[in-house]
Amino acid sequence: MFYLTIDILGTVAFAISGVLVALDKKLDLFGVFIIAFVTAVGGGTLRDILIGNTPVAWMQAPVYTYTILGSVVFAIVFRERLRYLRKSLFLFDTIGIGLYTLVGIEKGLQAELMPLMCIALGTITACFGGVIRDILCNEIPVIFRKEIYATACILGGGSFFLLNRLPIIDEYAYAAAIVIVIGIRLLAVRFRIALPSIYQRERD
């Protein structure tokens, strides 16, 4: 139940972030739903294909489609209030990567993969829905910029396996790792921490 709750909350967060991007691009209702849908399940779909879990999760459980549909309706109805919160997209996106990183790790553990591969699956689950969203909306995906994004997922995923060695119950380790992913992302943006650029500024 705890794992399913995390998965559903992540679906809601990413679906709303997809709606906000689609509304900024002034897409029609169908376009808004498609962007919300691929944002919410894109990373999980790629993850399931990689580990051979087919049909993929959202095809097996209609709760994901219903959750996305409900999130789209909610975000459209309250779009003015969400727009008033200038950082809504950033916040929902950040919450989404925190939740989905651990969802992907759990899937990797169920597939009996080594920790490194579990962290990779968590990062894919968290990031690639946003990658597909940004590509469809003609934007450079955040993961390919110098912002701390995928790095937060990797560090948070690594912290989960470290915490898992401590004598604490799994739910606490999951919750702490989610907070670490979200915290790293928030701190990176707040203090403008970024990965070093490989490009030098041209000198006159």
Which pTM does this prediction carry? 0.91
Contacts of 167 (CB under 8 A, 6+ apart): none
pLDDT at 200 over 70: no
Q: Which domain holds residue 63?
A: 2-190
78-101 confidence digits (pLDDT tens):
988 876 665 667 889 999 999 999
In a domain, 197, yes or no: no
In a domain, 200, yes or no: no
Number of domains into which the chain is organized: 1
In a domain, 60, yes or no: yes
In a domain, 41, yes or no: yes
Could you tell me the CA-to-CA distances from 23 to 80, 160, 176, 184 in Å, in that order? 11, 35, 33, 28
In a domain, 198, yes or no: no
In a domain, 201, yes or no: no
130-185 confidence digits (pLDDT tens):
999 999 999 999 888 877 999 999 999 999 999 999 999 999 999 999 999 999 99
In a domain, 195, yes or no: no
In a domain, 204, yes or no: no
